[in-house]
Amino acid sequence: MDTISPAVGVDVGTQRQAVTARRRRRRPPLHLLRRWVSPVALVALWQLASSTGVLHERKLASPAQVAATAADLVQAGTLGTQTLISLQRVGLGFAIGASIGLALAIVAGLSRIGEDAIDPPMQMLRTLPHFGLVTLFIIWFGIGETPKVALIALGATFPLYLNTLGGIRGIERKTLEAAKALHLTWAQRIRHVVIPGALPQTLVGLRQSLGIAWLSLIVAETIASQSGLGYMINHAKDFLQTDVIVVGLAVYSLLGLATDAIVRHLERKALAWRS
């Protein structure tokens, strides 16, 4: 009976994978096109309702008017400036909140004493409404950038804390016992066991934290703000400029989708071993 050597088998398998990958690249991304059908249909219905008078422009501007307003704001430099300010606030607040959430989750996940000390206040604080904290933050931090960044950081802390803590708790006890048997130090256990084991859940928490950070920004930019997308929306609200309001909300959503896409890309790279 003829036999095939392992090396030949590996080569054949590699070639098949390469051919499959090329075929996939050649295929039109039909699933991406299908995902755009419903949004485009909704925008078309929106425009039709506005054009026929069913939807009055004082209640909601038409897509054509929104697009024209967005072009004017971009040309004037207003939209770019306000977007950049909001991005800076979210970036700083998220960095602070994510660092705190990760650190607390590691301490609570690796130590029973740490869990008893950290988890109860975290569970209580995460249920506090943002609007209820606005007044306190103004009293504590004034009306500058500090209360805005603090509110965003607070919102970003809890999803990352909860998911990372759940990921650490989900690591099999045998894996931790094996690390102890190999006499790994505490730092080595975190690097080689805890971080890889909790990484899937941590990345989920990262996506949720970014979403909450953008939601927190909307609230934060109502605190005596004179700049940012939230300020632009609030100013437009006073003059019933629904086109400017929709432009601001659209930028919020696009920025949220962009940051989520970045994390999803990192997730695919970091968890390439998963099917």
User: In the numeric block, which tokens belong to residue 38?
Assistant: 């419903």
Query: Nearest to residue 155, comparing CAs of 74, 105, 103, 96?
Result: 96
Rounded Cα distance, 86 and 26, in Å: 39
Dihedral of the alpha carbons of 187, 189, 195, 200, in degrees to the nearest 10: -170
Task: Supply the pLDDT for residue 7.
Answer: 47
Residue range 63-271 forms a domain whose CATH class is mainly alpha
- Say if residues 105 and 169 touch (Cβ distance below 8 Å): no
For residue range 125-155, list pLDDT tens digits in order: 888 887 788 888 888 888 888 989 999 999 9
**Helix or strand or coil: residue 60?**
coil
- On whether the pTM is more than 0.75, the answer is yes
For residue range 26-77, list pLDDT tens digits in order: 555 666 677 778 888 988 998 898 888 888 878 888 888 889 999 999 999 8
Report which secondary-structure segment, H or E, holds 48.
Answer: helix 30-51
